[in-house]
């Protein structure tokens, strides 16, 4: 990353090549939306809150019992670690990739577009694996849980599309000026 900073000519490329860091950052931030909003504020689900009806034979851990809540909390802790690593690694990669004009990056459409893509990706991957394949928890357990899970996936797809369009608009700009 030090070598890159020596190159002055790269300045125009500053929005190119931030796809990976922006997406990783977005995955982390998306995880926080899920973790803080759904787990904590709304208390819709915990990591293993549907483990009584899962598809892979995870023992039942009801969040209403003390050991069950502890297990759920452990898994929430692992999830917490994952989201934080994604945020910090995303920022680190971003710093390594973008070697100049960092001050302007904060307001660039490309970055926030990729962050939205990452958020959407988080929803889709987390949704498919945890809600549909493993079935260890649902967005909102109950009679209509399939609809909530599908809405979660749909939100993910919308975020990816919107983010993708946003970052495309962002890269076009410097290409035309430089």
Partner 1 sequence: MTLAHGAHGTSSGALVLVTASAVVGAGYAVLAWRRRREPRGWGAWRTISFLAGIALLVLAVLPFMSPWPVGDLRGHMLQHLIIGMLAPIGLVLGAPLTLILRTVPRRWGRRIGRLLHTRPVRVLVHPVTALMLTVGGMVALYCTPLHQVATDGSVVHHLTHAHLLTAGYLFAWTIAGPDPAPRRPSVPTRLVVLGVAILAHAVVSQLLYAGLVGGPIPAPERRGAAELMYYGGDIAEIMLALAILTTWRPRRGPTARVRAAAASDGRNVGSVVRQ
The interface region with partner 1, picked from 50-58, 96-104, 119-127, 151-159 by CB under 8 A, is 96-104
Distance of CA 153 to the CA centre of its chain: 13
End-to-end CA distance of the chain: 23
102 binds partner 1 (CB under 8 A): yes
Question: Whose structure tokens read 């796809």?
Answer: 19
**What is the DSSP-derived secondary structure letter of residue 42?**
S
Residue 65 found at the interface with partner 1 (CB under 8 A): no
> Closest CB to partner 1 among 5 and 65?
5
Q: Which two tokens stand for residue 127?
A: 């949704």
Residue 36 as a binder of partner 1 (CB under 8 A): the answer is yes
Of the pair 57, 107, the CB lying nearest partner 1 is at 107
Q: Quick check: 20 binds partner 1 (CB under 8 A)?
A: no
| Token pair for 123 | 């929803």
Residues ≥6 apart with Cβ < 8 Å to 45:
38, 39, 137, 138, 139, 140, 141
Is 84 an interacting residue with respect to partner 1 (CB under 8 A)?
A: yes
Q: Which is nearer to partner 1, 85 or 150 (CB)?
A: 85
Scan residues 40-59 and list those touching partner 1 (CB under 8 A). Answer: 40
Cα–Cα distance between 58 and 169 in angstroms, integer? 45
> Contact residues for partner 1 (CB under 8 A)?
1, 5-6, 8, 11, 29, 32, 35-36, 40, 73, 77, 80, 84-85, 87-88, 91-92, 94-96, 99-106
């Amino acid at each position: 990353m030090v070598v890159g900073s020596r190159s002055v000519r790269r300045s125009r490329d500053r929005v190119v090549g931030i796809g990976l860091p922006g997406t990783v950052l977005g995955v982390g931030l998306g995880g926080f939306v899920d973790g803080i909003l759904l787990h904590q504020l709304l208390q819709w689900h915990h990591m293993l809150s549907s483990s009584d009806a899962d598809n892979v034979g995870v023992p039942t851990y009801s969040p209403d019992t003390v050991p069950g809540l502890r297990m759920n909390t452990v898994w929430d802790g692992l999830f917490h670690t994952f989201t934080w690593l994604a945020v910090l690694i995303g920022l680190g990669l971003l710093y390594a990739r973008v070697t100049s004009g960092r001050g302007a990056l904060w307001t660039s459409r490309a970055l926030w577009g990729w962050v939205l893509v990452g958020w959407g990706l988080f929803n889709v991957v987390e949704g498919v694996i945890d809600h549909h394949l493993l079935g260890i928890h649902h967005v909102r357990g109950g009679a209509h849980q399939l609809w909530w899970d599908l809405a979660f996936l749909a939100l993910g797809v919308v975020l990816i599309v919107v983010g993708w369009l946003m970052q495309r608009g962002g890269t076009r700009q410097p290409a035309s000026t430089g």
